Amino acid sequence: NAGVTQTPKFRILKIGQSMTLQCTQDMNHNYMYWYRQDPGMGLKLIYYSVGAGITDKGEVPNGYNVSRSTTEDFPLRLELAAPSQTSVYFCASTYGQINEQYFGPGTRLTVT
């Protein structure tokens, strides 16, 4: 298993541009999550999904959108990028309610 994969690894955006961060897991996990990690801080939950077709907001959802059309994929969309969205983005997945979350390697995004 590849686990949780994220693309791209790095990206620089100009203010106002849009992009999609890709996340794929091959472990047949039903729950998937998107986090952001600002410099020197812990991770904060942006959006989560409990299964295909079902998503909900986390702690810091403003400026982002998600979709979950398949069990494997959970893309994160940034519309109208702003400097405040400069961060490292992590995707994670888990099976069941109390099991360990498996994290992807992260995407470092800079908005200038």
Partner 1 sequence: AQTVTQSQPEMSVQEAETVTLSCTYDTSESNYYLFWYKQPPSRQMILVIRQEAYKQQNATENRFSVNFQKAAKSFSLKISDSQLGDTAMYFCAFMSLIIQGAQKLVFGQGTRLTINP
Residues that bind partner 1 (CB under 8 A): 31, 33, 35, 40-45, 48-50, 54, 56, 58, 88, 90, 92, 94, 96-98, 100-101, 103, 105-106
The DSSP code sequence of 35-73 is: EEE-TTS-EEEEEEEEETTEEEE-S--TTEEE--SSSSB
Whichever of 4 and 13 has its CB closer to partner 1, that residue is 4
Give the bridge partners for 33, in sequence order. Answer: 48, 92
Whichever of 50 and 80 has its CB closer to partner 1, that residue is 50
Whichever of 20 and 94 has its CB closer to partner 1, that residue is 94
